[in-house]
Structure 1
Amino acid sequence: MTPELRRSLGVFDAVVIGLGSMIGAGIFVALGPAARAAGSGLLLGLAMAAVIAYCNAMSSARLAARYPASGGTYVYGRERLGEFWGYLAGWAFVVGKTASCAAMALTVGVYAWPDQAHAVAVAAVVALTAVNYGGVQKSAWLTRAIVAVVLAVLAAVVVSLGSDSADFDRLDVGADASAGGVLQAAGLLFFAFAGYARIATLGEEVKDPARTIPRAVPLALGIALVVYVCVAVSVLSVLGAGELGRATAPLADAVRAAGAQWLTPVVRVGAAVAALGSLLALILGVSRTTLAMARDGHLPGGLAAVHPRFQVPHRAELAVGAVVAVVAATADVRGAIGFSSFGVLVYYAIANASAWTLSSESDRDTPVRVTQARATTVRVTAGLGLAGCLVLAFALPALSVAAGAAVLAVGVVVYAVRRRG
């Protein structure tokens, strides 16, 4: 009998884990590149990314309630579309999110000790892999503390930027934006919203997943969106789109321009802590998808082992930690964002395609009139999410698209060879 993971996460912990992986990636990493792409259309790109993320969230929540097992869209694609599509989703997730892990680890290094960024990044990966090894509940406790610190720092930033130095005429939404720039910005900012997937990939460790996951996913997404909008408007009102696009540390530059230099070291600490929270949740999600793929023979079977005491996929966590440490020691932060976004958008495209196939048969205990309405809603959101993911994926920078497509092609070859064998 396949060993199962311990169900110990309630709604609050699930929401916190989702927030921990979203806020670190979005605020401190993606705003600058998105502003370079869209100019004054940054907020339009943020709105577009939020709409598509909402559609993806609804699809993921419905699927996670139906299939409450570790693996997320890997499981949904396999069950709804067939083995190949599940495998492709899992491959896209593991590869794309491994790049995300490296980007978050390097963000910790850049903010904490710029001269030794790669060494700090590797140390962060080792430390958080050890935390995850001790059990998912320990990870949830640490994530609570991280999210509390980051939200406090961001609140201080918004308050400090809401002074006389803010000039809301600088927002000038969409004045110099092109459609292609807004789409590219939305694709880059989607990187910031993808964290709620961690809630779904932890489905086997959530209490009463049929109720908990559909509640936790939209809650986490809604809170993150409010935070993103407040910070983006505040930073734009101080720096303007042009200066924001050139900034290497946008929030630090903004508080300095607002005359709150004392807050700069606080922002640096907040950025490092936020990236740690995101990295912690990312390693959790990637290791669980690795576990699910190993159970089905798509990855070495030894990675499916569950620790008898801690009840975590300890070998998968160690393997993921080792790979991320190697990438973090050699990679570049900015190059990882576009590559990761492409892989994650493909992953969610498959999630939406899977949700499209859901019918009223999955709700046998509810009245037919209600289930038909729900089925229609699911199909509309899934269709919008599928189309949006594909559009944003191919609107990313050409190098990111080429690299992402090449890695997916390698995955397809591996799958074909394994099938023949």
Structure 2
Amino acid sequence: MTDLAAQGAARVDWIRSRMALLAAARDELSVTRPFAGRRIGMSLHVEPKTAVLVETLAAGGAELIGTGNHGSTQDDVVAYLNTLPGIEIVGRRDDDLDQHHANLAHVLDSGFDMVLDNGADLVAGLVARGTAATVLGGTEETTSGGLRLRDDGELAGRVPFPVIVINDSMLKAIGENRHAVGQSVVESLMRITNLMVPGRRFVVFGYGWCGRGVAQYLRALGGRVAVVEVDELKAFEAALDGYRVGSIDDFAEWGDVFITATGHPGVLPVEQIERMHDGAVLANCGHFPWEIDVAGLRAAATGSREIIDSVERIDLPSGRHVVLIADGRMFNLAGREPKGNSIESMDLGFLLQTLSLERVATRAAELPAGAQPVPDDIERTIARRFVAALSSAE
């Protein structure tokens, strides 16, 4: 084992020791082996918690070919996973977007019959190539991917196999999105920038589960928080939760730090960025780096320079400047010293992935084609296990 792989193995050892739900599932799957003879294609953030998920699927008999998401891959974890039999992971943390697309193409070229997707990139590739009929089914992790698969998304009605959208789960919404993302985003902002939260003015875009969590944890640390939300009912909820609520027109000149958490492109346009005060901070925690108009910002800029890793100063024609975190990517995973969501929350979330993939592997014929929520019995099984695990620790 190389030094890099050994470093990754040591980090995964610690994470694995705190993921009791996946440990129990790994023991069960090693007996039932629902993935025997199956090859899973994966596009997912590759970090130590993901490695434990991969180990769990492998214990159930799966082979796996995968790549990370752009900017968040942790090289030591990739090196460790590639020492495991039947596992191939491609990609590096410093890959540019073109190389990331080449990594996705490599996974698609290699062939698989189940998919573990994040942002629907692999599903989109299957549809574009006309090879989706070769796949039994799979899962999608994110709101962003779910939007692509449903309603007005470009993949709606075009996917011939079942895709269980993990982000539809109330367990994930509460445990991972609200509490884990909320904690992770605020912790990462503090770690990357070393800025003080109390008294600072924050504008959070979106009051879905992730936006709720970000706003909650900022306020818990003394931040002054406003919410931008276009959905009337979510805006109503945010107002009753005690936040200032309005449009970006209302808050562009008020905020100190702007955090996007919507899953939608272009929610923070360059014309609003140009109204912000000198030194305003821009950060995105949505899956795709499209919520902040980074391309428009760079086109309008008079200059830019990296201040420290993951922190870039961008000068504006007005003479003011803004600070962009992690190039507009999901900064709690793509920024400096990435930690991502808490171990326990990902134990919960990845058990949802595991049991949903097991359902596809064993009962795909009973599931409709296209995007669908996590089956209710799986949600309730995991809820019981999680509460039992918390109770046993008291």
Fold shared per TM-score above 0.5: no
Tell me which protein shows more helix as a share of its residues.
Answer: 1
Which structure shows the higher strand fraction?
2
Shorter-chain TM range is: under 0.3
